[in-house]
Structure 1
Amino acid sequence: MSTALPTIRRAAVVLVAGAVALLLGASPAWAHTELESSNPAAESEVAQAPAEVTLTFTEAIPAGTARVTVTGPDGTDRAAGAPTGQDGTLTVPLEPLGAAGVYTIEYRVVSDDGHPVSGTVPFTLTAPGPAAAPASAPAAVPAAPSAGPSDAPFVTPETTGTAETPVAGTAGDGEGAPVWPWLLGAVVVLGGGVVYALRRARS
């Protein structure tokens, strides 16, 4: 009985040590991948629009199963292609960013043990990017026309084919009929009448 107890105790110690070793060896496999860092960083403010975003995880991530979007203030996804990976870092190219505001990186990856991991990384663009709509220029106000004499329309006088009727007997009018022929005629008629009357009286 006394010799059996040490053997049992040694066996118990070996079993406990083995169990602890198994637990310590299995713990890394049970741990899921986590996002370690990003560029731009979460909640950061950037003045220049980035051409790409990077996500670094605590373990290697298969790029083929990763999904990453980058949504701007207008709700448009600015990711320009699929993620590419090297070790635990995923890189996603971006289209030219537009308006200033909050942009959100949303990711979904699958860890080595097949467990999906997802999350979001917001950052703020403080200045408009290359794709921002240019500010519209104010419409030009047309100048009011001046009321100067040069603006008055020039009217060319029209000539008509109807000549004015001259006033008879008007002095100095070169186109009127002369009066003296009528006076001379009257004198001749009166003289002829006087001569005829004298001849009748003599006869």
Structure 2
Amino acid sequence: MSGAARAAALSLLLAMLAAVVTLTARPAAAHAVRVAADPAENAVVDAGPARVSATFNERLQTTFAAMAVVGPDGNLWSTGDAQVQGAVVSVALRPLGPAGTYTVNYRVTSADGHVVTGSWSFRLAVAGTGTPGSTAHPEDNGNDGVPVWPFAVGAVALVAGAALWALRHRS
């Protein structure tokens, strides 16, 4: 096969590959989105609720859910593990204490396997008599998603394989 014919065949192959990738690519699945909260975001309540909950637009995986409520004093006011039922995640609360802003932080896994984090706040207008849990310390485990290195290794292997193939099939 002549050099010009080989170049034309390679160009055709690359064009066909690009067409297949483009035409068969599916749009990315949307991640879960919080659509409701109880108490509502920025709500003012006179007494603390027994539980807080967040409702999402799709079912959640029951594993790895976390929810914590931090009060204006920097202490944890949630108690127990987060519970997932369908599209709702919730956690029990201790009787609340000081008046002020309470922040609900959550971390859930959507149906497509992506981790979704977020928060909202509500305000307690009348101080309660509750006793807080421990002081809240945000966790930073440095694990913010899918590792990149397997994709980089795969890309390097693919390029190296293509280069070897091209070298072996040279005339």
**TM bracket, shorter-chain basis:** 0.5 to 0.7
Point out 4+ residue stretches in structure 1 off by more than 2 angstroms: none
Shift of 1:79: 1.1
1:161-200, Cα deviation, whole Å (9 max, x unpaired): xxxxxxxxxxxxxxxxxxxxxxxxxxxxxxxxxxxxxxxx
Q: Which amino acid aligns with 2:46?
A: A
Once residues 64 and 126 of structure 1 are traced to their aligned partners in structure 2, the CA distance between those partners, rounded to angstroms, is 34
In the alignment, what sits opposite 1:118?
117
Q: Give the fraction of aligned pairs with identical amino acids, expressed as a percent.
A: 38
RMSD, matched Cα: 2.2
Once residues 60 and 36 of structure 2 are traced to their aligned partners in structure 1, the CA distance between those partners, rounded to angstroms, is 14
Q: Secondary structure at the match of 1:43?
A: coil
Q: Which runs of 5+ in 2 are unaligned?
A: 1-22, 132-171
Q: Secondary structure at the match of 2:63?
A: helix
Once residues 58 and 64 of structure 2 are traced to their aligned partners in structure 1, the CA distance between those partners, rounded to angstroms, is 14
Shift of 1:31: 0.8
**Structure (1 or 2) with the larger CA radius of gyration:** 1
Structure 1 or 2: more strand by fraction: 2
In the alignment, what sits opposite 2:20?
none
Q: Which runs of 5+ in 1 are unaligned?
A: 1-18, 133-203
Shift of 1:101: 0.3
Once residues 63 and 45 of structure 1 are traced to their aligned partners in structure 2, the CA distance between those partners, rounded to angstroms, is 30
Q: Is the 8 A contact 1:53 1:91 kept in 2?
A: yes
**TM-score, with normalisation over the residues of structure 1?**
0.50
Q: Is the 8 A contact 1:63 1:83 kept in 2?
A: no
**TM-score, with normalisation over the residues of structure 2?**
0.59
In the alignment, what sits opposite 2:38?
39
1:58-89, Cα deviation, whole Å (9 max, x unpaired): 11112331111100011111111111121101
Q: Which amino acid aligns with 2:32?
A: T
In the alignment, what sits opposite 1:65?
64
Paired residues in the alignment total 112
Once residues 87 and 112 of structure 1 are traced to their aligned partners in structure 2, the CA distance between those partners, rounded to angstroms, is 10
Matched, 1:129 2:125: no
Q: Is the 8 A contact 1:56 1:89 kept in 2?
A: yes
Shift of 1:34: 0.5
